[in-house]
Amino acid sequence: MSNSYSSLCDDFYLDMYLNTKLGLPRQRDTILAFFERIQKQFPSMGCFSRDENNKYYLEEDRNTGQCRWITLEIDRIGSGVVNPSSFEDAYNQDRLVIELVPYMLSVNHLDIDSLDVTFAMDFDYAGSHDEVIAEALFGSTAFNCLLDLPAARPIAFSPTVVVAISDDCLTQGRISIESKTSVYEPREKRPVVDEAISLSFTIRQYPSSAEKFDALKSFENQCRLAEELMAEKIVPNFVQPLINVIAQKRLT
Q: What is the pLDDT of residues 172-205, one digit of tens each?
A: 999 999 999 876 555 555 555 458 999 999 999 9
5-251 adopts what CATH topology? Double Stranded RNA Binding Domain (3.30.160)
**Positions of the chain with pLDDT lower than 70, given as ranges:** 1-2, 183-194
Rounded to 10°, the helix 240-251/129-137 angle is: 130
Q: Which residues contact 6 (CB under 8 A, 6 or more apart)?
A: 12, 83
Give the other-Cβ count within 10 Å of 198's Cβ: 19
Write down the pLDDT at residue 4. Answer: 82
- The strand ranges marked E within the chain are 11-20, 47-50, 56-59, 67-72, 76-82, 112-124, 160-164, 171-178, 196-205
**Of 95, 110, 109, which Cα lies nearest the Cα of 222?**
95
Q: What is the C-alpha separation between 57 and 71, in angstroms, rounded?
A: 5
Q: What is the pLDDT of residues 215-244, one digit of tens each?
A: 999 999 999 999 999 999 999 999 999 999
Domains in the chain: boundaries: 5-251
- Please give the model's pTM, rounded to 2 decimal places: 0.92
Write down the pLDDT at residue 64. Answer: 81
Measured in whole angstroms, the distance separating CA 103 from the mean position of its chain's CA atoms is: 26
What is the maximum span of the chain, computed from C-alpha positions, in angstroms? 63
